[in-house]
Amino acid sequence: MPLPEPTPVLDLIDSFRRSKTMFTAVALGVFDRLREQPCSAAGLAGRLQTDADAMERLLDGCVGLGLLTKQAGVYTNQPVADVYLCSASPHSMHGYVLYSDAVLFPMWANLADAVREGTHRWKQTFDLDGPIFSHFFRTEDALRDFIQGMHGAGMVSSPRVVEAFDLSRFHRMVDLGGATGHLVIAACERYPALRGAVFDLGRVTAFAREEVAQSPAHARIEVLAGDFFEDDLPVADLYALGRVLHDWSDQKIATLLGIVYDKLPPQGALLIAEKLLDEDKSGPVPALMQSLNMLVITEGRERTAGEYGALLRQAGFARVEARRTGSVVDAVLATKE
């Protein structure tokens, strides 16, 4: 019997090297510098205070990955790097790349222990105890990287989430744990009669105000400080939870859904944005990888549409619909009848 093709295994062996090449180029400021002006490896090494030969190898690696072009020894950003890897771009994922490099990469090195014990790796990796989000926000730089990273990803996915269902019947949407407000911004920009609010921890609201101020819908969006587990929720007929429920256990989700359900008026609804696993949990791969990520860094996991439906119906929601968006997160709409 012939041996199976080894390409899948070889690709996986190589994958972390590709990720780390991009992470390192972002962390060193390569794409930001090249956005200002194309440059040779030696010139860039001088500007970034690195070894010239090593910089050339890094840049050539980025050329091979499709992030840079090289002509006559001069390197230039590809459009994908300009848009998603430069800190000044309005669609930048720069913050999430930095967060992935500084936090996720070392934590994933302890995945085997997370699987053995079934718990996150903050203590093992960084010697941090306490609530998980105190670790995410342990310094102002860590907070900014995390929040800006969520914003970059949200700018890609949120327009698709608010298109998944017709939300025109709602009057006020409150985005719970909304970070920079990308989800409510997308909703208010799509639905001109909708008013909205971002509701998140006080340390996060400054970032939300920065982003809301740049939206054409800014006059219809408030930014409010609060903790959705502890504080009374602002009044709304549509609440949203974007990439929130996957952080928590079923027990904490039940508590939060109960709070939301009790606050909603009849025919009010909850919009959820999360990666949905297939019902047999065999895919899709991004959702499977994100579920492992939740094991490493939170108390939660990714779920199927059926699992979210069961949690929502247990909380009292009578009608639950799930839609694939074709983007990095999917959409679930649960209505109170």
Indicate whether 71 and 140 sit together in one domain. Answer: no
pLDDT at 46: 98
Residue 212's CATH number = 3.40.50.150
Host domain of residue 16: 7-84
Q: Is 218 one of the catalytic residues? A: no
Q: Is residue 159 part of a domain?
A: yes
Q: Is residue 104 part of a domain?
A: no
Indicate whether 141 and 76 sit together in one domain. Answer: no
**How many structural domains is the chain composed of?**
2
Q: Is residue 90 part of a domain?
A: no
Last residue of a domain, one of 48, 63, 84: 84
pLDDT at 104: 93
Q: Is residue 107 part of a domain?
A: no
Q: Is residue 262 part of a domain?
A: yes
pLDDT at 147: 81
Indicate whether 198 and 329 sit together in one domain. Answer: yes
Indicate whether 191 and 265 sit together in one domain. Answer: yes
Q: Is residue 64 part of a domain?
A: yes
Indicate whether 69 and 147 sit together in one domain. Answer: no
pLDDT at 234: 98
pLDDT at 134: 66
pLDDT at 165: 98
Indicate whether 260 and 168 sit together in one domain. Answer: yes
pLDDT at 133: 66
Indicate whether 72 and 214 sit together in one domain. Answer: no
Contacts of 139 (CB under 8 A, 6+ apart): none
Residue 329: what residue type?
V
Q: Is residue 230 part of a domain?
A: yes
Indicate whether 142 and 243 sit together in one domain. Answer: yes
Indicate whether 45 and 138 sit together in one domain. Answer: no
Indicate whether 57 and 188 sit together in one domain. Answer: no
Q: Is residue 182 part of a domain?
A: yes
Q: Tens digit of pLDDT per residue, the chain (337 long)?
A: 899 999 999 999 999 999 999 999 999 999 999 999 999 999 999 999 999 999 999 999 999 999 999 999 999 999 999 999 999 998 889 988 998 999 999 999 999 999 999 999 999 999 988 777 666 666 777 777 778 777 877 888 999 999 999 999 999 999 999 999 999 999 999 999 999 999 999 989 999 999 999 999 999 999 999 999 999 999 999 999 999 999 999 999 999 999 999 999 999 999 999 999 999 999 999 999 999 999 999 999 999 999 999 999 999 999 999 999 999 999 999 999 9
Indicate whether 51 and 189 sit together in one domain. Answer: no
Indicate whether 160 and 15 sit together in one domain. Answer: no
Last residue of a domain, one of 84, 103, 120: 84
The active-site residue, picked from 94, 120, 151, 246, is 246
Residue 74's CATH number = 1.10.10.10
